[in-house]
């Protein structure tokens, strides 16, 4: 009954554990930070579980359709950066004497709107999307961290490009689990089934651990401007992705899931300030505004997706999409039908 009710909420297996953990972390921060297996699983497990989920996502991907995944990922990445850049330009151009626009620091606008929450995206893609939607995350990882923010600020003449802001090694460490999963999934069908069957259990635990890094007081500290930034991120970056995906015949619900701010975007203003001292004075304000945007989008995006699913009829109560019924030849092969229990939705 609990699982069925959670699945009625877009990304519910992610959102509910995340918000529950955020409440615990806000009011009882030391409740689960007691060391041992408890803290390892419920607090410190994000890197391991995220890597494991990427591996299982890769195992579901047919290499013949990898080009579609890259196209989807690149489209989302470009849209997020482009929309964020437009609003950042407006923030610089319309800023008052205090350097703020509607109370927002331009640095916060770029950092919040260009960095998407990968956990939210993966959860929504898992519930509503297909294998290509999940694998698109291999491209979306590029918007994690300060790289795209720095590129935009450089274009606007606000700062020079600083070496070391993009680490090829760090990028490879994120991509490698996905690649290993792809190799396994395309060489051994039984191993593929094993990984796919275990994928669903990862999401709630990963989401809970992520929620243990969120403090709801950030919304208060970020003020109305931080909340406004979160709303703008959902409406404009998620809205743009929704419309473009719909126009291209892709799943627009998955596109709309990009209307989020990543939790790790909170560190971007500080990193930018360290690279260019001219941002030092505004970095603290930008940090709390980005944090408020991250919390706001995490709360708001499931509501928005629920409305979009109902209005557009791109999903039903089970979270399945009509376009997932179009199974490719790889999925229809006699060999897989004999050994695999995986459905067209990528679920056991």
Q: What confidence tens digit (pLDDT) does each residue in 87-129 have?
A: 998 988 888 888 889 889 999 999 999 988 887 888 788 778 8
Q: What confidence tens digit (pLDDT) does each residue in 18-47 have?
A: 778 889 998 999 999 999 999 999 999 888
Judge whether 125 lies within some domain: yes
**Domain total for the chain?**
1
Judge whether 144 lies within some domain: yes
Q: What confidence tens digit (pLDDT) does each residue in 251-260 have?
A: 999 999 999 9
Over pLDDT 70: what percentage of the chain? 78
- Domain range enclosing 191: 11-23+42-323
Judge whether 297 lies within some domain: yes
Q: Compute and round to an integer the Cα radius of gyration of the chain.
A: 20
Predicted pLDDT of residue 34? 95
Given a contact cutoff of 8 angstroms between Cβ atoms, the answer to whether 202 and 49 are in contact is: yes
Indicate which CATH number applies to the domain containing 195. 1.20.1530.20
Residue 274: count other Cβ atoms within 10 Å of its Cβ: 13
Task: Measure CA 345 to chain center.
Answer: 20
Judge whether 221 lies within some domain: yes
Predicted pLDDT of residue 209? 85
Judge whether 34 lies within some domain: no
Task: Give the C-alpha distances (Å, rounded to integers) separating 131 from 12, 30, 43, 71, 178.
Answer: 19, 38, 29, 13, 12
Q: pTM for this structure?
A: 0.67
Judge whether 3 lies within some domain: no
């Amino acid at each position: 009954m609990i699982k069925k009710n959670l699945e009625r909420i877009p990304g519910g297996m992610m959102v509910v554990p995340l918000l529950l953990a955020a409440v615990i972390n806000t009011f009882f921060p030391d409740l689960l930070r007691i060391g041992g297996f408890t803290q390892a699983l419920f607090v410190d497990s994000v890197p391991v579980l995220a890597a494991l989920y990427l591996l299982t996502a890769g195992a579901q991907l047919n290499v013949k359709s990898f080009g579609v995944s890259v196209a989807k990922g690149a489209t989302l990445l470009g849209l997020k950066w482009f929309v964020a850049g437009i609003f950042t330009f407006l923030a610089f151009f319309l800023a008052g004497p205090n350097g703020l626009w509607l109370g927002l620091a331009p640095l916060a606008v770029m950092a919040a709107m260009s960095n998407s929450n990968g956990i939210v995206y993966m959860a929504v893609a898992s519930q509503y999307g297909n294998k290509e939607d999940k694998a698109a995350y291999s491209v979306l990882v590029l918007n994690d961290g300060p790289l795209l923010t720095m590129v935009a600020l450089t274009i606007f003449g606000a700062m020079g490009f600083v070496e070391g802001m993009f680490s090829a090694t760090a990028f490879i460490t994120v991509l490698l689990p996905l690649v290993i999963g792809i190799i396994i999934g395309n060489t051994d069908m039984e191993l593929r089934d094993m990984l796919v069957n275990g994928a669903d259990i990862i999401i709630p635990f990963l989401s809970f651990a992520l929620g243990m890094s969120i403090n709801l007081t950030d919304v208060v500290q970020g003020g109305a401007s931080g909340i406004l930034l979160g709303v703008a991120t959902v409406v404009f970056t998620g809205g743009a992705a929704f419309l473009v995906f719909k126009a291209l015949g892709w799943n627009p619900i998955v596109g709309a899931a990009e209307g989020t701010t990543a939790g790790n975007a909170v560190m971007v203003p500080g990193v930018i300030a360290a690279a260019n001292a001219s941002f030092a004075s505004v970095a603290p304000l930008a940090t709390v505004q980005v944090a408020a945007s991250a919390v706001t989008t995490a709360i708001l995006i499931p509501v928005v997706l629920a409305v979009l699913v109902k209005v557009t009829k791109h999903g039903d109560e089970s979270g399945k999409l009509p376009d997932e019924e179009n199974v490719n030849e790889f999925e229809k092969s006699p060999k897989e039908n004999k050994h695999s229990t995986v459905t067209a939705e990528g679920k056991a």
